[in-house]
A and B are shown apart, each in its own frame.
Chain A
Amino acid sequence: SYYLTQPPSMSVSPGQTASITCSGDNLDDEYVCWYRQEPGQSPVLVIFQDIKRPSGIPERISGSKSGNTATLTISGAQAVDEADYYCQAWGVTTVFFGGGTKLTVL
């Protein structure tokens, strides 16, 4: 089986930077997406193709990847950023999600 590993939780102070990591053995060969999910809501795409932002996602949210680790960076964290964040990778015929990271802004 192929797993994507994320820290279960993370906290950040308002205005500071949060970096959420996602590690996987094959990640250097896969493209990574990130999704934000607020309580009771559907996930929303925030990063695709490792680094690209969909329209409507602010520039302070960015993605990067080095080797087998992808990182979602939220700069100038705000209360609205408090949510669960999931990384996702596409295999040849399958899709993998990380276990999710609960980001708390306090």
Chain B
Amino acid sequence: QVTLKESGPMLVKPTETLTLTCTVSGFSLTNARMGVSWIRQPPGKALEWLANIFANDDNSYSTSLRNRLTVSKDTSKSQVVLTMTNLDPADTATYFCARIQNWGPYNWLDPWGQGTLVTVSS
């Protein structure tokens, strides 16, 4: 069974750096046909893609948040880490990680983690 679980602080102060960890099981982060994506959802709003990382360490970032995001992985721990700098109350959201499945030109996100709510407030 494939599972992903997000972990990290529930409350962060403005201007601080957020570090979130996605721990995966049931698949390997070295699998060339798989990767991990980070997505967030502010309360009552739509999904917003943040970043991807693949087995070969190729990564990509949201254009609007590129300067604040870093994604990395530790295959030995089956973990993917997302850091976001200079937090603002507008970054308050539920943060999800999801497995990327790839087949040729096709990608899809399945399954998703349960999500973790991060509140940015002083």
Instruction: Report which A residues bind B (CB closer than 8 A).
Output: 1, 31, 33, 35, 37, 42-45, 48-49, 54, 86, 88, 90, 93-100
Give chain A residues whose Cβ lies under 8 Å from the Cβ of B49: 88, 94-97
| With A31-B105, A31-B106: A42-B47 Cβ-Cβ less than 8 Å | no
Q: Which residue of A lies closest to B114 (CB)?
A: A42
Interface Cβ pair total, 8 Å cutoff: 56
Main DSSP-derived SS at the B contact region: strand
Complex partner residue of B108 from A45, A86, A93, A98, CB under 8 angstroms: A45
Main DSSP-derived SS at the A contact region: strand
Complex partner residue of A94 from B63, B96, B105, B111, CB under 8 angstroms: B63
Q: Are A43 and B47 in contact (CB under 8 A)?
A: yes
Known: A43-B112, A97-B49; 14 extra A-B contacts, CB below 8 A, are A31-B105, A31-B106, A33-B109, A42-B96, A42-B112, A43-B96, A45-B108, A45-B110, A48-B110, A49-B108, A88-B49, A88-B109, A94-B63, A97-B39
Give chain B residues whose Cβ lies under 8 Å from the Cβ of A49: 106, 108
- The interface bits of chain B over 75-103 (1 if a CB of A lies within 8 angstroms of the residue's CB, else 0) are 00000000000000000000010100000
Provide 25 A-B residue pairs closer than 8 Å at the C-beta atoms, listed in order of the A residue: A1-B63, A31-B105, A31-B106, A31-B107, A33-B109, A35-B109, A37-B47, A42-B112, A42-B115, A44-B111, A45-B108, A45-B109, A45-B111, A48-B108, A48-B110, A86-B47, A88-B47, A94-B49, A94-B62, A96-B49, A97-B39, A97-B46, A97-B49, A99-B46, A100-B46
A42 to B112, CA, bound (A): 6
**B28-73 interface (Cβ within 8 A of A):** 37, 39, 46-49, 52, 60, 62-63
